[in-house]
Amino acid sequence: MLIHKKRVALSKQILKIAKNHKVLVVHPDEIDYAVHGHDGLNLNWLEARKTAEILNYLRPDKAIIDCPSPNIKAYTNYLRKFINNTDLELVVEHKADRNFYVVSAASIIAKVAREEGVEKIEKKIGQKIGTGYMSNLQCQEFVKKNFDKHPELFRKSWMPYKKQVEEKEQKKLNEY
């Protein structure tokens, strides 16, 4: 596990030597759409489609893909449906960052981009929101106090958000 400062430094070094890269931001409404099964989606299929979008943009001859599921065959078959280059060599592996430095490097770049996104949100709304992970106490407090003030920031399918909405809508005993 790397601390933020180390990830930023590594990201800069990686980007100096990378031939090309692409970061896609997936917005809360896109995730909600997938989680609710629209268009036959789920989170893994959404990830496959976004991976294909990156591959179609970068147009490599070979790609090493970190599969979000141990069902590599199903993921690979689904992914291939959205890749323009039918000759693209794919190496698909669950937890590929353990065996391929390039996947670890991509993960670092993605994490730094995510952290920069959190910083942009904080500047936009003028307050700290924590890491964006519910294991973070500051994030937990932010969700409790701001789920209805900044609904555009949250995935409506995210359990912590849903819990806050349910608690707000739940009648208290003295309201009967």
CATH code: domain of residue 11: 3.30.420.10
CATH number of the domain to which 154 belongs: 1.10.10
Please check whether residues 75 and 103 belong to one and the same domain.
Answer: yes
Confidence class for position 2, pLDDT limits 50, 70, 90: confident
What is the rounded distance in angstroms from the CA atom of residue 38 to the CA atom of residue 134? 26
Q: Which residues contact 94 (CB under 8 A, 6 or more apart)?
A: 66, 67, 68, 69, 70, 72
pLDDT of residue 176: 60
Please check whether residues 133 and 119 belong to one and the same domain.
Answer: no
Please check whether residues 59 and 97 belong to one and the same domain.
Answer: yes
Please check whether residues 172 and 100 belong to one and the same domain.
Answer: no
pLDDT digits (tens, 9 = 90+) for 100-115: 999 999 999 999 999 9
Please check whether residues 118 and 136 belong to one and the same domain.
Answer: no
Domain count within the chain: 2
Q: Can you tell me the mean pLDDT for 58-72?
A: 97
Q: How far is CA 131 from CA 98, 114, 118, 145, 154, in A?
A: 24, 9, 7, 16, 13
Please check whether residues 87 and 174 belong to one and the same domain.
Answer: no
Residue 55 has pLDDT above 80, yes or no: yes
Beta bridge partners of 83: none
Confidence class for position 45, pLDDT limits 50, 70, 90: very high
Residue 57 has pLDDT above 80, yes or no: yes
Please check whether residues 122 and 140 belong to one and the same domain.
Answer: no
Please check whether residues 109 and 146 belong to one and the same domain.
Answer: no
Confidence class for position 9, pLDDT limits 50, 70, 90: very high
Please check whether residues 160 and 86 belong to one and the same domain.
Answer: no
pLDDT of residue 132: 85
For residue 161, give its domain range.
Answer: 128-176
